[in-house]
């Protein structure tokens, strides 16, 4: 029996796609050791699992495996770190006093950050966003990334992270509120992250 029906051997995968897979993982798990582990798990799964059918490029195929590995990691992590009591996350999102007055009006109305097209070109703005993401509780950052970057279906996300749909709405709301506030305060102050 042939070792596998693949056009090239796994060592080439590591040489040719290893760095790309690493960066892809790093952008999502945001930890270099975890990202290395993800690359290793991906390549091991690639040589042991279903053969590469050659329908897509090897890179696309490997990235698909990596995506699943990352979701598995998130799932494991969300089991290890129990969610705070559901009550805390529920309706009328407590903790929102930080953002709103008792009558539901903004404590501090959102301000313009500048021209979106130009902001997106600025490294400093993106770095600030990175720092704000790092400050967000992990599980909020993770669900935010899954929805906004991966465009993962919300029902799937809920299943993967073992949370209810309502919980996901509250978590995403908190993530967005927290991020925008962090960005606004620090970007408009023009200085270092507070």
Footprint on this chain of another protein (rule: CB under 8 A): 1, 3, 10-11, 14, 18-20, 22-24, 26-28, 36, 39-40, 43-44, 47-48, 93, 96, 99-100, 103-106, 109-113, 116, 119-120, 125-126, 129-130, 133, 144-145, 147-149, 154, 168-169, 172-173, 176-177, 179-180, 183-184
| Residues 29, 35 contacting (CB under 8 angstroms) | yes
Question: Whose Cβ is closer to another protein: residue 53's or residue 102's?
Answer: 102
Task: Please state the closest distance from residue 14 (CB atom) to another protein, in A.
Answer: 6
Find, among 30, 143, 10, the residue nearest to 89 by Cα.
143
Question: Whose Cβ is closer to another protein: residue 48's or residue 85's?
Answer: 48
CB atoms within 10 A of CB 183: 19
Task: Please state the closest distance from residue 183 (CB atom) to another protein, in A.
Answer: 8
Virtual CA dihedral for 71, 22, 134, 125, nearest 10 degrees? Answer: -120
Question: Whose Cβ is closer to another protein: residue 73's or residue 145's?
Answer: 145
DSSP percent split of the chain into helix, strand, coil, nearest 5: 65, 0, 30
DSSP 38-51: HHHHHHHHHHHSSP
Task: Please state the closest distance from residue 106 (CB atom) to another protein, in A.
Answer: 5
Question: Whose Cβ is closer to another protein: residue 75's or residue 125's?
Answer: 125
Q: How far apart are CA 128 and CA 28, in angstroms?
A: 17
Task: Please state the closest distance from residue 184 (CB atom) to another protein, in A.
Answer: 8
Question: Whose Cβ is closer to another protein: residue 85's or residue 120's?
Answer: 120
Q: How far apart are CA 75 and CA 158, in angstroms?
A: 10
For 18, the token pair is 């290893």
Task: Please state the closest distance from residue 38 (CB atom) to another protein, in A.
Answer: 11
Question: Whose Cβ is closer to another protein: residue 80's or residue 103's?
Answer: 103
Q: Which DSSP category does 85 fall into?
A: P
Task: Please state the closest distance from residue 137 (CB atom) to another protein, in A.
Answer: 16
For 26, the token pair is 């790093």
């Amino acid at each position: 029996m042939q070792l596998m029906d693949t056009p090239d051997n796994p060592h080439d995968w590591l040489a040719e796609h290893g760095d790309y897979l690493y960066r892809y993982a790093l952008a999502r798990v945001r930890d270099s050791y975890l990202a290395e582990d993800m690359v290793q798990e991906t390549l091991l799964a690639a040589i042991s699992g279903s053969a590469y059918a050659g329908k897509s490029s090897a890179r696309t195929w490997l990235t698909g495996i990596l995506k699943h590995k990352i979701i598995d990691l998130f799932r494991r992590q969300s089991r290890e770190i129990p969610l705070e009591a559901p009550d805390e996350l529920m309706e009328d999102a407590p903790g929102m006093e930080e953002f709103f007055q008792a009558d539901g009006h903004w404590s501090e109305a959102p301000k313009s950050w500048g021209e979106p097209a130009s902001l997106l070109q600025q490294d400093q703005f993106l770095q600030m966003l990175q720092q704000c993401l790092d400050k967000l509780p992990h599980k909020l950052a993770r669900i935010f990334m899954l929805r906004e970057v991966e465009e993962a279906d919300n029902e799937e996300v809920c299943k993967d992270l073992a949370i209810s749909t309502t919980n996901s709405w509250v978590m995403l709301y908190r993530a967005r509120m927290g991020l925008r506030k962090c960005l606004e305060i620090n970007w408009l102050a023009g200085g270092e992250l507070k």
